[in-house]
Structure 1
């Protein structure tokens, strides 16, 4: 049986979501971030997709020279963020990996002359773009393993589409049902340290760093809803690369590359409101790859 991609999503992972509800409501002028119930909606989508494995494209795991695929058998430890250690610390994690899938993707990439490589080392450090999703989506101690893919920092953006092609073929050969999650924001321009909110609800979209970023992000969301990934890619160099998106869009580009690149017409369904996080544009968007025309 051929493996297949049974769902995909762009997912926010920002650290504020890991704070307690009381503090989030203080930040939200009495309201919680809609990204929190959005995680519950995403959990339902993943469960309904009957995924054998969840693949996370981690926009914080920067590598040089290769697109790395995390091939450890199990990861456990306690996470502390070197970026925001004053509140993102002491986070225990314990979840399964799937070495066979990572190795399959590497084999395919070598055949294609690509740059995807598996790294099978239990001591490899974690990043919160993965850990936060593992926690919020309740993938710890579950029957569903997690495989993380890096964001290679020394390649042009079309190379991410090629990485996705190798990943898709590796999935096909694996016989597995895979949900892919692009863990990262859209526009990723931070507000300055002395920034004053435009709206008392910190999560509110008007607190995103620049009006033009809001316009661009909302335009991209509308194109996702229409399934026009070709238009997104046509505008990449002149718009989305220049915003820029988090990790210069590595999380989305590898994911859409696996879904067919510019030929992909899979429509997106927002699972949360569009929100601010320290100036960056965040949203959860689900792509139902099984129930789309031509799937």
Structure 2
């Protein structure tokens, strides 16, 4: 019935908002903003009606959660970086029907998921920043998915992504894009060093590691990348423990995926973290490589100590 029409890994750095405003940072994130606008153009050309955002700023401690309220509107100030995002206006519609379908299929496949369609919960900036540039005219509906998962296995997040794709393809009458909103390495600059690190990566090790990962994506080395993802999430300080990336790759077929990433916004540094906008071509998959529930402990985030 429905179709997963586009999949992408995207940045949501708050300096994109600063880039709009008068001051020393004005215009400095145009490449990232243009990457978002290009994704928006592609989604429109493909007939996408809803953007599903795997948001690494939505922290949850139990279960997976979808925010699919009818509509959101307000002014957002970041509690983490109020000097970067202050009184940022937003407004767009949710998709309660799709949110319920996604949650139902995830639960049917053994991944506990709750859809919140009657809620006062507002999206986090992992959703709000991309929507500012992709959805300024409220063309798309939006579903936000929790992807800062503190007590979850990466395998379950991969299975969640696959279940969501199946929900779209089997039960939804429309076209959807899946967007993994999070960085690569996410080691912030030490307090007091942020201005000097505004356009840099925290360490040569993390920068080299991120570049190697991006090259793996471009070369289609998915078996190797999926195998290393749990350790990369820890040692590479992956944002949200890389649950957004696991969700995205789960939807694409996990280690059986055969596509090669297309980089729209080249890798860049932001306050010590590594950022990118990249599109992952969607191809038919049977899901046989998506991790099974009984394998979750073998390749889970918790299998590796936090260093």
What TM-score, normalized by structure 2, do the two folds share? Answer: 0.85
Map 1:104-123 → 2, pairs under 5 A = 104-123=101-120
What TM-score, normalized by structure 1, do the two folds share? Answer: 0.89
The count of aligned residue pairs is 284
Verify: 1:126 aligned to 2:149, yes or no. no
Map 1:146-185 → 2, pairs under 5 A = 146-151=142-147, 152-172=149-169, 173-185=171-183
- Deviating above 3 A after TM superposition, structure 1's stretches of 4 or more consecutive aligned residues are 20-24, 30-33, 196-199
User: Contact 2:55/2:126 (CA < 8 Å) preserved in 1?
Assistant: yes
Separation in 2, partners of 1:177, 1:153:
30
Separation in 1, partners of 2:153, 2:48:
31
User: Contact 1:98/1:145 (CA < 8 Å) preserved in 2?
Assistant: yes
Alpha-carbon deviations, 1:61-106, whole Å to 9, x = none?
A: 0112111111211111221111122341211211111111111122
User: Contact 2:4/2:175 (CA < 8 Å) preserved in 1?
Assistant: yes
Aligned to 1:15: 14
Verify: 1:79 aligned to 2:76, yes or no. yes
Secondary structure at 2:265's aligned position in 1?
coil
Q: Any gaps of 5 or more consecutive residues in structure 2?
A: 287-307
Secondary structure at 1:271's aligned position in 2?
strand
User: Contact 1:134/1:140 (CA < 8 Å) preserved in 2?
Assistant: no
Q: Which one of the candidate residues 238, 251, 257 is aligned to 1:264? A: 257
Q: Any gaps of 5 or more consecutive residues in structure 1?
A: none
For the aligned residues, what is the CA RMSD? 2.2
User: Contact 2:65/2:145 (CA < 8 Å) preserved in 1?
Assistant: yes
Secondary structure at 1:159's aligned position in 2?
helix
Shift of 1:179: 0.8
